[in-house]
Amino acid sequence: MIVAGEASGDAHAAALVNALRATAPDNQLDFFGATGPLLRAAGVDSIVRSDDLAILGLVEIGGALPKFWQAFKFLKKAALERKPDAVILVDWPDFNLKLAHALHRRGLKVIYYISPQLWAWRSYRARNIRRDVDLLLSILPFEKDWYAERGIEHVEFVGHPLAGEVKARYSRAEFCRQMRLDPKSPVISLLPGSRRKEVERILPPMLEAAALIAARRPEVQFVVVVAPSRTSAEVRNIVRAQRGTPEPLPSCLHIVSGQSREALAASDAAAIASGTATLEAALLGTPMVIVYKESTINWHTLGRLISTDHYGLVNLVAGERVATELMQDDLNGERLASELLLLLDKKRNDDARERLREVADELGEGGASERAAECILTAIR
C-alpha cells in the first residue's frame, strides 16, 4: 500500500514504485492506495485520488475535513482487507501520521518515506515516529542525526530523490531561441508556486518586482514558470490584472508551462516560492531569492510554530543563509527587485553558484529511489 498526497509526494512515490519493480523484477508487486496522476500512471490501484485533496491553509482544511475523513476510512478499510506486506507513507504528515497510528496498531508494517519536517515545527510528533513507524527513510542529510538525538534509530538517509535527476533537456541558447529571448541579455525566472492560493498571493509582488527592475534595467527579460498543477490561463489572468497597476509590466514577459528546469537552467537569477523548486534550482546552480506569502490568519497561527532559523530547504541543507528569504510582509516588489538586481552582479552571481554546488553535494549523488526500494524490500523480507 502506498499513500501520497501533494504533487511532489506523488512524483517521488511514482519514482519509488518504478524503482521497487526494477529492483525486484522476478516478483509480482501489486500496489494500491492514495494516488496522484503519476502514481496512477505507474499502475497503482487508486482507492483515493489525493489530487482531489490538495488544499492549503486552515480555512480550506476546515471546509474539506469531511473529504479527508472519508479518504481516511476508505484507506484504512482497504488496508485491513488486503493486508499488504508494507504500508509506505510518503510525506503528507497531517494525514499520514494518523494513518500510521491506525494501521501499525493493527499489526501492519509501516514505512515512512520522506520524513515529516518535525525539525521545523511540532517536534513533539517525533514520538509518533517512534511508536507507529517501523522504518523511516530520510531524504535530507541532517535528519538522521536529529532523530538520533531523540533516541530514534530506525532511520536511514537514502539521499534526495532529485539528486542526479534534475537536468535541463536543452541549453540556454535553445531555451532562448524557443522563447524568443536574447541569450546575451539577463533572464530572470519567476516561480510563484503550485497551489492556486500561493500563485494568487505570490505572483503579484513578483510582477511588481519585474516592473521595477525593467524600469531600471530595460534589457532584463522575465519568464513566469507555470507549475504542472496550474494553468497558463490562471497566470495570464493575474498578469492581466497587474497591468492596471501604476508600474508598467516589462515588455519582455513570457509565460511558460512544462519547462521549469529549462527555464531555471537558462536563468541568471530566479524568485522561487519556498518548496521543492528551490532544491531544483540549487541542483541546476541557479542563484535565487526564496519567497513566500500566506493568508494573515495562517501566518499568525501556523507560522509562529516554525522553530528553524531558515524557511527555504536550500538554506536548511546548507545550515546557513545561502539564498535570501523574503517571507510574508517582507515580500514586496521593492525588496524583491533589490535582491534580484544584486544577484545579477557577476561577482555575487558566481559566489551564489559556488555555494549552491556545495548544497547539491550534500543532497547525495543520485539513486535515492533505488536505495529506498532496497531498504523497503529488505524490511519486507
> pLDDT tens digits, residue range 256-275?
999 999 999 999 999 999 98
Residue 244: the pLDDT is: 76
**HEC profile of 218-265:** CCCEEEEEECCCCCHHHHHHHHHHHCCCCCCCCCCEEEEECCHHHHHH
Look up residue 134 and give its three cell numbers.
Answer: 517501523
pLDDT surpassing 60 at residue 55: no
All residues at 6 or more sequence positions from 344 whose CB lies less than 8 Å from its CB, including other chains: 186, 188, 217, 220, 268, 269
Please give the Cα distance from 243 to 253 (Å, whole number): 12
Q: Residue 305 has what pLDDT?
A: 57
Q: Are 206 and 192 in contact (CB under 8 A)?
A: yes
Would you place residue 300 in the very low, low, confident or very high pLDDT band (cuts 50, 70, 90)? low
356 CB neighbour count, 10 Å cutoff? 22
Percent over 70 (pLDDT), the chain? 95
Confidence of residue 51 (pLDDT cuts 50, 70, 90): confident
- The angle that helices 232-242 and 196-216 make with each other, rounded to 10 degrees, is 50
How far is residue 135's CA from residue 305's CA, in Å, rounded to a whole number? 26
Judge whether residue 205 has pLDDT over 60.
yes
pTM exceeds 0.95? no
Instruction: Look at residue 59 in the predicted model and tell me its pLDDT.
Output: 44
Q: What percent of the chain stands above pLDDT 90?
A: 80
With cut-offs at 50, 70 and 90, classify the pLDDT of residue 23.
Answer: very high
- Please provide the average confidence, as pLDDT, over all residues in the chain: 92
Query: Which pLDDT score is estimated for 357?
Result: 96
Q: Is the pLDDT at 238 greater than 80, yes or no?
A: yes
Q: Output the CA torsion sign for 31, 36, 42, 45.
A: positive
CA–CA separation, 108 vs 185, rounded Å? 57
Question: Confidence band (pLDDT; 50, 70, 90) for 56?
Answer: very low
Residue 57, pLDDT above cutoff 60: no
pLDDT of residue 365: 83
pLDDT at residue 308 in the model: 67
pLDDT tens digits along 140-186: 999 999 999 999 999 999 999 999 999 999 999 999 999 999 999 99
Asked whether residue 307 carries a pLDDT value surpassing 80, the answer given is no
- Give the pLDDT score at 301: 67
Asked if residue 297 has pLDDT above 80, the reply is: no
Is the pLDDT higher at 3 or at 295? 3
**What pLDDT score does 200 carry?**
96
SS3 139: coil
pLDDT at residue 24, as a whole number = 95
- Sheet bearing 110-113, strands edge to edge: 45-49, 32-35, 2-4, 87-90, 110-113, 135-138, 155-157
For helices 346-362 and 333-343, what crossing angle results, to 10°? 90
- pLDDT-based confidence at 299, cuts 50/70/90? low
**Average of per-residue pLDDT across 7-22:** 94
Phi-psi region of 170 (alpha: psi -120 to 50; beta: other; left: phi over 0): beta
- Stretch 18-27: mean pLDDT: 96
**What CA–CA distance (Å, rounded) separates 285 from 166?**
11
* pLDDT at residue 98, as a whole number: 96
What pLDDT digit, counting tens, does each position of 107-117 carry?
999 999 999 88
